[in-house]
Structure 1
Amino acid sequence: MSQTLLSADGKTETYALINSVLANPNRDVVEVPDCNHSSFGKHITQAFDSELNKNVFLFHIHVTPDNDRCKAGVNDRQRNEIKTYGDSPENLIARNGETVQYKWKFRLSDTFKPSASFTHIHQIKSVGGPFESIPMISFTLRKSNPDRLELRYTATTDQTTIATANLDLFRGNWVSVTETIKFSNNGSYTLEIKNIATNQIILNYNATSKDMWQDGADFSRPKWGIYRSLNNQQDLQDEIVKFADFSIEENPATLSIVDINIDALKAKAENILLYPNPSSKEVEFKNANSDNYDTIEMYDYSGRKMPIEKRLNDDKLDVSGFAKGLYFIVFKKDTVTAKVLKCYVK
């Protein structure tokens, strides 16, 4: 289990703070219209919030002149978001077979005005494959009668609304979100949004058997912020959406048929590493010493043992031809598990 937290601290430069948690060194996961609206300055800032009694992030968006990440010629939409991506730490992106829990808090203004087209404040989006252009999960704020938050879903390209809540339940209130996803073609999705002050549940959704993997994807990732259409500018206003306490907690798939000995995981085989990982061809066991194990086994995320006897060559394993996704390589000594490593086939 691995948990990563991103919280405002009120002192570290905001973009540097976000990148220090969600990105690898020298990379940027902040998508803002700063260069198109340089007179305003940074479009994500920090401030102390008296309701939460802590520092929070402020995501600013202006009807004009903000656009989509300063892209030339893109004037029908605007974006101010943070995300994870392929070079983020491995525990911050989701692979087929993993279960990930996302938590965060957000607050809309008292007079928030959504677009009749789309205003996204959260997405789960796949990277790679034929369906990556459309988010698998979206929180969409929609002008309607009444205005509402829509939970939207697709496993392919046909996105539908699977739950809604009146937007007046969100306006002017801090809410907490807990979203748990088992990423699999036979996965699951649960969501709870709660008013922090009253503890009232605003939106609750639970699907225990749901396609939560877009075929052909390399990985899935979260996005947070403001991404809205400008098709009906007369309906919109400058907005500030507050966010706080982002959490990503990964719970790798478990091997129910493998008896994992916790003490043995700390034994002599603890230095074994896989390289490269992910791989589409061959994985090498770095720092491997055959004195510390006598058997190597491989399982897919559902616990099915894979035939690898003819694929092993000294300290290397041929993974070509395996379906994309998460696997486990198990090192055993005298039938006792010495180490379990996650292996990603791309």
Structure 2
Amino acid sequence: MKRIIILLSLSLLGSLFGFSQTILNANEPGNTYEEINSILAPNYNAVEVPDCVHTDFGRHINEVFDTDLNSNVFRFIAHKTPDNDRCVNFDRQRVEIKTYASSPENLKATEGETVEYKWKFKLPSDFQVSSDFTHIHQIKSVGGPYASIPMITLTLRKSNPDRIELRHTSTNSQNTIKTAELDLLRGHWVEVTETITFDNEGSYSININRISNNISILSYSNEIIDTWQDGATFARPKWGIYRSLNNIDDLQDEAVSYANFSIEEIEKLSIFDIVSKAEQIILVSNPSKESVTFKNVEADDYDSIILYNSEGKIISAKNRLKKHKLDVSDLKPGLYYIVFMKLQRTVKVLKCLVN
């Protein structure tokens, strides 16, 4: 589905961004694999499950009604035994959905593109993990020498205390770049927003917020990070349960719920750059949790500003701006746009990252 979001009046700026968004929602019990495939890989198979070894159980992904979200959700089920990895690997288990080579082109990220991934998930309140990997989300490359290792991973691990780890690599050696206590997730629906510019000098941000009270569980942002594994033809997401069986005594049967998957490709279309002294304006303390200051600015460089969030919605700037300083302390973490106006014309657009 194509939709164009105009952040500013066409008479002032024209089209600033174009969005291509694909949404996968649970419908109702039955035909779950078919529904997933129809969105992620029409006429192909985007589902990886251990049904082949556990035929008496049936399908390992189904749809159930969730009273918290008041909607149907996907339930990913992994059994301690006899489930394995599609009857291919027997030291691990895999219950996942993905995009891949047979998926529509807009679901495959290529070098230079910016993509926003959003979804919701809920771990059982007694979810168990081992010291080995339990992946619940990955961004993987296809093609090239580093295709075997995920570029971005959310993994759950036994520790003191148990934790969720955000891991990254641009080659073949992953590093943990952010963690949070797993008890903050257990038993709660959370929403994840992940934005990636795929490039050797790309950008990455992720926010995991509890839905019931909007508490931030994990937040990370990096404006200059290698998000492209050399030699790759495209990158793709995976969601589900993918866990090692090396410490099987630490594990139990699990059912993890997922909902409202969204893949949104954001591509720059055009921007009319009006040359003026305001071109020198920069933001200081960016990213910021409290405020950003406009530097290299003079009194006649602009006469008003407009603040937009990453979805193109206007955020009220009333009472936020004082002496070239903008208060962002009450904004949700994420990417915003500050548009500087002069005589009803746009003279500058700057990205502002709130963390």
What SS class does the counterpart of residue 196 from structure 2 fall into? Answer: strand
Cα distance in 2 for residues equivalent to 1:180 and 1:83: 17
Cα distance in 2 for residues equivalent to 1:177 and 1:197: 14
Residue 105 of structure 1 corresponds to 120
Residue 229 of structure 1 corresponds to 244
- Cα pair 1:32 1:70 within 8 Å, conserved: no
Q: Unaligned stretches of 5+ in structure 2?
A: 1-18, 275-355
Residue 33 of structure 2 corresponds to 15
- Alpha-carbon shift at residue 190 of structure 1 (Å): 0.4
- Alpha-carbon shift at residue 255 of structure 1 (Å): 5.6
1:143-222 → structure 2 map (5 Å cutoff)? 143-222=158-237
Cα distance in 2 for residues equivalent to 1:207 and 1:254: 24
Residue 130 of structure 1 corresponds to 145
Cα distance in 2 for residues equivalent to 1:255 and 1:53: 40
What SS class does the counterpart of residue 34 from structure 1 fall into? Answer: coil
- Cα pair 1:97 1:253 within 8 Å, conserved: no
Residue 331 of structure 2 corresponds to none
Amino acid at match of 2:175: T
Residue 307 of structure 1 corresponds to none
What SS class does the counterpart of residue 45 from structure 2 fall into? Answer: coil
- Alpha-carbon shift at residue 11 of structure 1 (Å): 4.6
Cα distance in 2 for residues equivalent to 1:84 and 1:162: 25
Residue 42 of structure 2 corresponds to 24
- Cα pair 2:29 2:64 within 8 Å, conserved: no
Cα distance in 2 for residues equivalent to 1:155 and 1:207: 14
Cα distance in 2 for residues equivalent to 1:247 and 1:29: 15
- Alpha-carbon shift at residue 42 of structure 1 (Å): 0.3
Amino acid at match of 1:48: F
- Cα pair 2:30 2:62 within 8 Å, conserved: no
The alignment's C-alpha RMSD in Å is 1.4
TM normalised by structure 2 equals: 0.71
Cα distance in 1 for residues equivalent to 2:267 and 2:216: 28
Which of 19, 22, 31 is the matching residue for 1:4?
22
- Cα pair 2:91 2:245 within 8 Å, conserved: yes
| 1:93 and 2:108 are equivalent in the alignment | yes
Amino acid at match of 2:82: P
Q: Unaligned stretches of 5+ in structure 1?
A: 260-346
Residue 69 of structure 2 corresponds to 52
TM normalised by structure 1 equals: 0.72
Residue 54 of structure 2 corresponds to 37
Cα distance in 2 for residues equivalent to 1:153 and 1:242: 24
- Cα pair 1:30 1:81 within 8 Å, conserved: yes
How many residues are paired up?
256
Cα distance in 2 for residues equivalent to 1:70 and 1:93: 27
Amino acid at match of 1:23: A
1:246-261 → structure 2 map (5 Å cutoff)? 246-254=261-269
Cα distance in 2 for residues equivalent to 1:179 and 1:219: 17
Cα distance in 2 for residues equivalent to 1:236 and 1:10: 29
Cα distance in 2 for residues equivalent to 1:257 and 1:216: 34
